[in-house]
Structure 1
Amino acid sequence: MSMRFDPVTGEKIQQDSEPRQNQAAASGAARGGAASDTAPGGSAQGPTRDGIYQDTMPGDAAQETDGSGQAGQPYFYQPPAPEQAPKKKKAGPILAVIAVLLVVAAGAVVWAVKSGLFSSNSAKVLAAITNTVRDTGDLTGAFRFGDILLSDESTLTVSTESPDFGMELQFLHGKPRKQMLGSMDISGFMDVDFQAELTEEELMVRVPSVADYIFTYNYQEPKSGYLNDYYGDSLDDIDELLEAIYTPEEQAELDTDLAKTIAEECGNLEFEKASSEEFEVDREKRKCTGISTTVPRESLETIYDEFEDAVRDSMESAYRYGVYGYDMYTEYYFDEIEESRSEMEDVDLTFFIYEKKLACVRIEIEDEEAELRFLGGDTRMQNMQFLIDGEEMLRIEGEKEDSTEVKTVFMEGEEAVSLEYNRKTGALDISADAGRTAISGNVFLDKDSFKVSMDRIMTEGQPVDLTFGMTIEKGASFQEFDGEEFDIGQASVEDIQALLLEMNLL
Structure 2
Amino acid sequence: MEKQNDHKKFSKKIGALSAGIIVILAIVLFAGIKNGFFLRKGDKILYAAYHTIKDQPGTADDVKDEDYTVSVDGQWKEQKIQAEYASASDQKQLKGTIDLDKLPDLEFVMTLDEKELKTQLPSLSQKVFVYDYKNGGKSGYLAKKIGSEKLERFDTILEELYGGNEQKTVGKDILKEARKEFNKLKMNKTEKKEFEIDGQKRNCAGYQFTISKDNAQIVLEAAEKTVKKNYGDGTKISADPIGKVFMAFYDKISAVGEMECSVYLYHNKLAAVSVSYEDDENAQNIKVLFLGGDFRTQNMEISFLVDEKTTTIQTNTTGNLAAKEGTLTFESDDTDSLSGRISVKKGCQMSELTGEECDLMKLNGFELLELFGEFAGFGF
With the length of structure 2 as denominator, give the TM-score of the two structures.
Answer: 0.56
From the superposition, tell whether residues 465 and 335 of structure 1 become closer, same or farther in structure 2 (CA, over 3 Å). closer
1:430 aligns with: 301
2:359 aligns with: 487
| Greater gyration radius | 1
Instruction: Return the alpha-carbon distance in structure 1 between the equivalents of residues 64 and 90 of structure 2.
Output: 14
1:306-325 equivalences in 2 (<5 Å): 308-310=221-223, 313-314=226-227, 316-319=235-238
Contact 1:427 1:440 (C-alpha < 8 Å) held by counterparts: no
2:124 is the counterpart of 1:228:
no
Contact 2:292 2:298 (C-alpha < 8 Å) held by counterparts: yes
Instruction: Return the alpha-carbon distance in structure 1 between the equivalents of residues 176 and 145 of structure 2.
Output: 44
Instruction: Return the alpha-carbon distance in structure 1 between the equivalents of residues 146 and 273 of structure 2.
Output: 52
2:100 aligns with: 186
Task: Please give the root-mean-square deviation of Cα atoms over the aligned residues, in Å.
Answer: 5.5
From the superposition, tell whether residues 468 and 328 of structure 1 become closer, same or farther in structure 2 (CA, over 3 Å). closer
Shift of 1:152: 1.7
From the superposition, tell whether residues 335 and 311 of structure 1 become closer, same or farther in structure 2 (CA, over 3 Å). farther
1:474 aligns with: 346
Question: After superposition, what is the alpha-carbon deviation per residue over 1:1-41, rounded to whole angstroms, capped at 9, x for unaligned?
Answer: xxxxxxxxxxxxxxxxxxxxxxxxxxxxxxxxxxxxxxxxx
Question: After superposition, what is the alpha-carbon deviation per residue over 1:369-417, rounded to whole angstroms, capped at 9, x for unaligned?
Answer: xxx997x6xxx336xxxxxxxxxxxxx8xxxxxxxxxx677999xxx76
2:118 aligns with: 204
Instruction: Return the alpha-carbon distance in structure 1 between the equivalents of residues 293 and 250 of structure 2.
Output: 37
Shift of 1:151: 3.4
2:90 is the counterpart of 1:176:
yes
Instruction: Return the alpha-carbon distance in structure 2 between the equivalents of residues 262 and 165 of structure 1.
Output: 37
Question: After superposition, what is the alpha-carbon deviation per residue over 1:197-245, rounded to whole angstroms, capped at 9, x for unaligned?
Answer: 1111111001111111111011112322333343332322322222222
From the superposition, tell whether residues 149 and 230 of structure 1 become closer, same or farther in structure 2 (CA, over 3 Å). farther
Letter in 2 for 1:232: G
From the superposition, tell whether residues 337 and 314 of structure 1 become closer, same or farther in structure 2 (CA, over 3 Å). farther
Report the secondary structure of 1:190's partner residue: coil
Question: After superposition, what is the alpha-carbon deviation per residue over 1:293-329, rounded to whole angstroms, capped at 9, x for unaligned?
Answer: xxxxxxxxxxx96774125654953445899797585
From the superposition, tell whether residues 238 and 144 of structure 1 become closer, same or farther in structure 2 (CA, over 3 Å). farther
Report the secondary structure of 2:105's partner residue: strand
Q: Which residue of 149, 153, 159 maps to 1:237? A: 153
Instruction: Return the alpha-carbon distance in structure 1 between the equivalents of residues 245 and 302 of structure 2.
Output: 29
Q: Name the structure with the higher helix share.
A: 2
Report the secondary structure of 2:55's partner residue: helix
Question: After superposition, what is the alpha-carbon deviation per residue over 1:233-281, rounded to whole angstroms, capped at 9, x for unaligned?
Answer: 2322322222222234444444566789999x9xxxxxxxxxxxxxxxx
From the superposition, tell whether residues 198 and 214 of structure 1 become closer, same or farther in structure 2 (CA, over 3 Å). same
Shift of 1:484: 1.7
Letter in 1 for 2:222: D
Instruction: Return the alpha-carbon distance in structure 2 between the equivalents of residues 309 and 135 of structure 1.
Output: 23
Shift of 1:161: 2.2
Question: After superposition, what is the alpha-carbon deviation per residue over 1:111-136, rounded to whole angstroms, capped at 9, x for unaligned?
Answer: xxxxxxxxx89x94765559985996
Contact 1:431 1:439 (C-alpha < 8 Å) held by counterparts: yes
With the length of structure 1 as denominator, give the TM-score of the two structures.
Answer: 0.44
Instruction: Return the alpha-carbon distance in structure 2 between the equivalents of residues 373 and 493 of structure 1.
Output: 59
Contact 1:193 1:207 (C-alpha < 8 Å) held by counterparts: yes
Report the secondary structure of 2:354's partner residue: coil
Structure 1: gaps spanning 5 or more residues: 1-119, 266-282, 284-303, 339-371, 383-395, 397-406
Instruction: Return the alpha-carbon distance in structure 1 between the equivalents of residues 372 and 69 of structure 2.
Output: 34
Instruction: Return the alpha-carbon distance in structure 1 between the equivalents of residues 78 and 325 of structure 2.
Output: 30
1:450 aligns with: 326
Report the secondary structure of 1:499's partner residue: helix
From the superposition, tell whether residues 312 and 171 of structure 1 become closer, same or farther in structure 2 (CA, over 3 Å). farther
Letter in 1 for 2:156: E
Task: Give the count of matched residue pairs.
Answer: 288
Instruction: Return the alpha-carbon distance in structure 1 between the equivalents of residues 130 and 224 of structure 2.
Output: 33
Report the secondary structure of 1:309's partner residue: helix
Report the secondary structure of 1:238's partner residue: helix
Q: Which has the higher contact order (CA 8 A, sep 6+)?
A: 2
Contact 2:299 2:314 (C-alpha < 8 Å) held by counterparts: yes
1:381 aligns with: 268
From the superposition, tell whether residues 236 and 128 of structure 1 become closer, same or farther in structure 2 (CA, over 3 Å). same
Letter in 2 for 1:239: D
